[in-house]
Amino acid sequence: MRGLKDKVAIVAGAAPGNIGGATAIRLAEEGMKVVAADLNEAAATTIAGQIRDFGGTATAKAFNITDEASYKELIEAAVSEHGTLHGLFNVAADLSPQNIGRDSDVTTVPLDVWQHTIDVNLTGYMYGIRHALPIMIGQNSGPIINTMSSAVWMGEPERVAYQASKSGLVGLTRHAATLGGKHGVPHQPAVPRRHPHEDRGGNDDRGIPREHRRHGALPATR
């Protein structure tokens, strides 16, 4: 990656052991100033500390992606501290057993699971775009990356709320691209590949149950 030195990025959903945390560290390795944000402030602080340990620049912020005021405050804090914002990576998701573990099919999914998943994966991402996009349009630069899922195209007999939320994110990303693209603000989907230790059934060759692994997940304590 080139041209990232001293640029500013927010990783919304950065915690140890997940995609967000790994991305925050990788961006910092390229010289970016990173704001690691997560519902669990201690998790975000751990990531920021790991970045500072190798000489990178990072701060940690607690935020709740389902609360627009909280997301707006996160973006304003980043701009206040660094003067601008060059990138936003929306990666938060609640993959806890209490949520995705109860995300069944359309005939049985609990409505609280449905609503919470939409609030996190779709409405929450919209909050970030809503408040970051005007800043980036004003400076004619700064990509917004939204984490997608292959479940959108494959289809599954379970996790209906997760699939629906990620499918909606396709439309949201395309819509935002029509606004930002002509101002140098691309919107891109990021589709994570299967974990190298995981087979197609979700089994882990290291003996770690799926429900105990976190790929871009918000803490299970929300």
Q: Determine the length of the chain.
A: 222
- Can 127 be counted among the known catalytic residues? no
- Pick from 117, 85, 111: which is nearest to 99 by CA? 117
Whether residue 190 contacts residue 196, with contact meaning beta carbons closer than 8 Å, is answered with: no
The residues facing 147 across adjacent strands are: 190
Amino acid at 121: N
Query: What are residue 132's phi and psi, to 5 degrees?
Result: -90, -35
The active-site residue out of 71, 125, 127, 162 is: 162
> Would you please indicate which residues are annotated as catalytic (active-site) residues?
162
